[in-house]
Structure 1
Amino acid sequence: MIGTDTFRQFTLSLPHVTEEPHFDKTSFRIGGKIFATMVAEHHRATVKLSPTDQCLFCLADANMVYPVPNKWGKLGWTHLNLQTVLPEMCTEILKVAYCEVAPKKYAALITFDE
């Protein structure tokens, strides 16, 4: 489980990320582009992954990580159940989502666990 405050803190710790409203959600952006959203009252986040990365992360557990069930999901948008996702997995997924959208000069600053 990862709390919404922890999710927010980690996301905002990535280089040059801003938090802005997006309809009824909180969005996290790099260079004006959304790479993650959060709906705190539903304990759910949504991130932008490549379709390949989405497939890989969804293999772990469909109760933790799963495609958005519409055309956005086919584009790589992926839900994270913040009540069940492992904190380490969540941080790695956020880094991948950030790198998917961020300019290369910022993406190059991100390190991944091995």
Structure 2
Amino acid sequence: MKPDDVRRLAHALPEVLEGAHNGHPDFRVGGRIFATLWVDEERVVLRLTPAQQAASCEAEPDLFRAVEGAWGRRGWTSLDLWDAGEDTLAAALLAAWRGVAAAAYDRI
């Protein structure tokens, strides 16, 4: 997968807007970031729950890893794009989107 695939799949989710955070493109729903794209590193950082993070890292340790420090302990997770398939990327984006949308709108 490539950074353009992240954009395509993220924008396919309802009410997603693209912005920027610390010089990196990000994707938001309800004004909250659910994914940040690191174009040069070909990875996406996703806001997962700690349980989703643990399951993803255990299931596919070559693709997923917790972000270092406090952000990672809160569930922020890196997904390396070069070996990720479309189904894996789409599922990870959807999981991150659902969690943020639920909190933002208290309805999903």
Q: Same fold (TM over 0.5)?
A: yes
How far apart, CA to CA, are the structure 2 residues paired with 1:51 and 1:34? 16
Question: Is this contact kept in 2: 1:36–1:48, CA < 8 A?
Answer: yes
Instruction: Show the counterpart of 1:40.
Output: 39
How far apart, CA to CA, are the structure 1 residues paired with 2:19 and 2:85? 25
How far apart, CA to CA, are the structure 2 residues paired with 1:60 and 1:85? 13
Instruction: Show the counterpart of 1:93.
Output: 92
Instruction: Show the counterpart of 2:10.
Output: 11
Q: How many residues are matched?
A: 105
Instruction: Show the counterpart of 1:79.
Output: 78
Calculate the TM-score normalised by the size of structure 1. 0.87
Which runs of no fewer than 5 residues in structure 1 stay unpaired?
A: 108-114
Instruction: Show the counterpart of 1:70.
Output: 69
Which runs of no fewer than 5 residues in structure 2 stay unpaired?
A: none
Question: Is this contact kept in 2: 1:65–1:85, CA < 8 A?
Answer: no
Instruction: Show the counterpart of 1:25.
Output: 24
Aligned-pair CA distance for 1:104: 4.4
Q: Structure 1 stretches (4+) deviating beyond 4 angstroms?
A: none
* CA root-mean-square deviation: 1.1
